[in-house]
Structure 1
Amino acid sequence: MNHFDLIDGSLHAEQVALAEIAARIGTPFYCYSTATLVRHYTVFAHALEKAGLDATICFACKANPNVAVIRTLAELGAGADVVSEGELRQALAAGVPPGRIVFSGVGKTRGELEFAVAKGIMQINVESEPELELLSSVAAERGIRMPVSLRVNPDVDAGTHAKITTGKKENKFGIEWTRAHEVYRKARTLPGIEVVGVACHIGSQLTEVAPFREAFLRVRDLVAILRADGFDIRRLDVGGGLGVPYEDETPPHPDEYAAAIRDTLGDLGCRIVLEPGRLLVANAGILVSRVVYVKEGATRTFVIVDAAMNDLMRPALYDAHHAIEPVTAPPPGTEPVPVDVVGPVCETGDTFARQRLLPPVKAGDLLAFRTAGAYGAAMASTYNTRPLVPEVLVKGDRFAVVRARPTYEEMRALESLPDWF
């Protein structure tokens, strides 16, 4: 469910007309709905509560690191899962308590580890032996033992896109399943490490619960082995990955997901840490763009918009589908026509949809790209020297720009000429 609906023939975000926002700040822009963020978090949290799980929800900031989005979720009780110092700083700026922050990722630098240890975050999910040794050194220098979970790779196929699958043995993430116990034993000997749990994340946009169950059962087996060896395993970080409907997918309801966790891990007496990202924010955001030209090609019609692949990368990167619709509803009985919706970037890959059935549109019309709140603005770039897209947060009948569009002068101020010119 989301809160982007037609009111008197005009698409609104809650009670704010998207056309009004476009008139005020220009296009393209991202728009997020507070009501949708609240609803999605509440439904997810309620599912865990109904399942009787002792759970901590840490929003995966990589999906949408906007500080206002993180703050909205933090006020509902969410922690944060971060994968860089930048995301950690965003989470702290949004008011997330350090004790509710988990630091994941395969390539944490010494500087990032030093920053995280100094801030006293809840735990670091360690993904390799070299990282474990470096973290121990960093923590020991401060005279502390840093709480860690080792991220294990269970070699489970999530059945999703190859570029967002993370739990197979050929993926770069985590510690190989068969070596996990050995690495845990090594962790116990390091002076700066306090082993508190096991972490596991098998991928993103899962539309079936079976891979979760398979991975969780492997985690359960590992917990039994570790406890038999004297480890005090008290946290299980089961990651995120529950999918959302972009087109015709039917992902499991959070109730079904929570039941899978309860059935496989619920009797172990561990706090469950979850890292949902896409599930919370994808349907809470849209990208609004304006038609620049309608161009008749030799074999097809191109609708050229002012948004581009640098603003919404998912179609070019994953061949991802985003529903597209006019911001102003067409007259009743209007017949859709097949068009290619493309951007202005000088790449053939700058294509949002091919032969998509849309009502006829003309230059100046506004189009909305649905389910763009996750991995939209987060993956944006300034390719072709295009300014980053502004982001807007709506609450009821109010909206605020929560990331401004930089001016060309501001972009150029980040560069300089060397003194030999």
Structure 2
Amino acid sequence: HTICYSVKANSNLGILRLIGRAGCGFDVVSGGELERVLRVDRRAAKKVVFSGVGKTSDEMTAALKARILLFNVESESELWVLAECAARAREKARIALRVNPDVPANTHPYISTGLQQHKFGVPIDEARKLYAQASGSGYLQIAGVSVHIGSQITDVDPFAAAMKRVAELVRALRRDGHRIEYVDAGGGLGIAYDQSDNPDFESFVGDYAEAVLGPLRGLKVHLLLEPGRSIVGPAGALLTRVLYKKTNGSKKFLVVDAAMNDFLRPSLYEAYHEIVPLRLGEEDLSERVDVVGPICESGDFFARDRELPVTNEGDVLAILDAGAYGMALASNYNTRPRPAEVLVEGRSARVIRRRETIGDLLRAES
């Protein structure tokens, strides 16, 4: 098997460098993500899979020239554009079709990707026809089957259902004469953002492994996995300072200096993240508050009606489990520079992304 870290979760070069040194490959969904991986180590291309529904010709050509491991093709049109790019580059493209198994992932609808109503993949019932067509191209090499049903999934049953359909397809494709070497099972393994859930993560991972591996037993395929959130999510925290405490009627607010532009998940998904004050002292007293940012939208919040230890202006709060889809989703809304990123290893710490300045934001404009 090969772990192909999902670069979209956190694409900082310092993080990619650590993950590459651990022997992992990478799952990319854009030319920019590919360039990040190659900037860290050009030799990593041999462990790169390229996913995504909207690959451009330029992106495909760059990936062909880098000689990546595998293209996860998501439509018939993309298949033929890739074949044309490969012919022009005089490179053979190794492909897997990303199939859509029409399996509900039981997660937030914005990050569910395995139903026919979603834009992702090829309907699994149409896959054999496309594989047959692809086999006639001299510049496409059929190498595998890919599937990805969603993100932040905490129930293993959808994985098992999807992999059962994939295993059936692999057997059918081999009967058709295709050489299927790889099965890319995608990512999607969820984490516990609410610490009160106190899940047994090791047991959950064991159940996940059985859900994925069970249907594939006896097929002798090389398994590719694309975890992202489960690797970097719990490793990150966003630190923010309380600017003001205010009360509107019976409603209490903590106004902090971070905002939805820095960390979008609570606003976008109404996602729960633990928030803890970083101070020593009595924590017996608590209050119910909304933790909000300075941006001019009511949707700019990190927590609503949250019971927290009584907090003072100037205190620092840590928003936990922010290592995935934090900076990756950050923006400069309200002309706010993005924060610095600091990598902590043991007792040492170093800046792996400097804090932006307003000058940085204006430099590309005229």
- Category of TM-score, reference length = shorter chain: over 0.9
Partner of 2:32: 86
For 2:209 and 2:317, how far apart are their aligned partners in 1?
36
- Summarize the alignment of residues 5-404 of structure 1 with structure 2, pairs less than 5 Å apart: 55-95=1-41, 97-247=44-194, 248-249=196-197, 250=199, 253-331=204-282, 334-404=284-354
Determine which structure has greater relative contact order: mean sequence separation of CA pairs < 8 Å that are 6+ residues apart, divided by chain length: 1
1:393 is displaced (CA, Å) by: 0.4
1:389 is displaced (CA, Å) by: 1.5
1:144 is displaced (CA, Å) by: 2.3
Q: State the Cα deviation string for residues 386-421 of structure 1 (Å, max 9, x = none).
A: 0012111011111111111121112111100xxxxx
For 2:294 and 2:332, how far apart are their aligned partners in 1?
13
1:282 is displaced (CA, Å) by: 0.3
For 2:147 and 2:323, how far apart are their aligned partners in 1?
25
For 2:247 and 2:89, how far apart are their aligned partners in 1?
66
- SS at structure 2 position matched to 1:97: helix
Q: Is the 8 A contact 1:330 1:359 kept in 2?
A: no
Root mean square deviation of aligned Cα = 1.1
Q: Is the 8 A contact 1:123 1:148 kept in 2?
A: yes
Q: State the Cα deviation string for residues 359-397 of structure 1 (Å, max 9, x = none).
A: 111211100000000001110000000001211101111
Q: State the Cα deviation string for residues 28-51 of structure 1 (Å, max 9, x = none).
A: xxxxxxxxxxxxxxxxxxxxxxxx
1:73 is displaced (CA, Å) by: 1.1
For structure 1, the residue ranges without an aligned partner over 5 or more in a row are: 1-54, 417-421
What is the TM-score when the length of structure 1 is the normalising length?
0.84
AA at the equivalent of 2:209: A
For 1:263 and 1:105, how far apart are their aligned partners in 2?
27
For structure 2, the residue ranges without an aligned partner over 5 or more in a row are: none
- SS at structure 1 position matched to 2:106: coil
- SS at structure 1 position matched to 2:135: helix
Q: Is the 8 A contact 1:308 1:344 kept in 2?
A: yes
Q: Is the 8 A contact 2:145 2:184 kept in 1?
A: yes
Q: State the Cα deviation string for residues 23-77 of structure 1 (Å, max 9, x = none).
A: xxxxxxxxxxxxxxxxxxxxxxxxxxxxxxxx10000000000111111111111
For 1:314 and 1:84, how far apart are their aligned partners in 2?
21
1:331 is displaced (CA, Å) by: 1.4
For 2:101 and 2:159, how far apart are their aligned partners in 1?
11
Partner of 1:19: none
Q: Is the 8 A contact 1:289 1:367 kept in 2?
A: yes
For 1:106 and 1:206, how far apart are their aligned partners in 2?
21
For 2:74 and 2:131, how far apart are their aligned partners in 1?
12
1:171 is displaced (CA, Å) by: 0.4
2:361 equivalent to 1:414 = no
- SS at structure 2 position matched to 1:221: helix
Q: Is the 8 A contact 1:65 1:378 kept in 2?
A: yes
Q: Is the 8 A contact 2:3 2:226 kept in 1?
A: yes
For 1:371 and 1:164, how far apart are their aligned partners in 2?
18
Q: Is the 8 A contact 2:65 2:91 kept in 1?
A: no
What is the TM-score when the length of structure 2 is the normalising length?
0.97
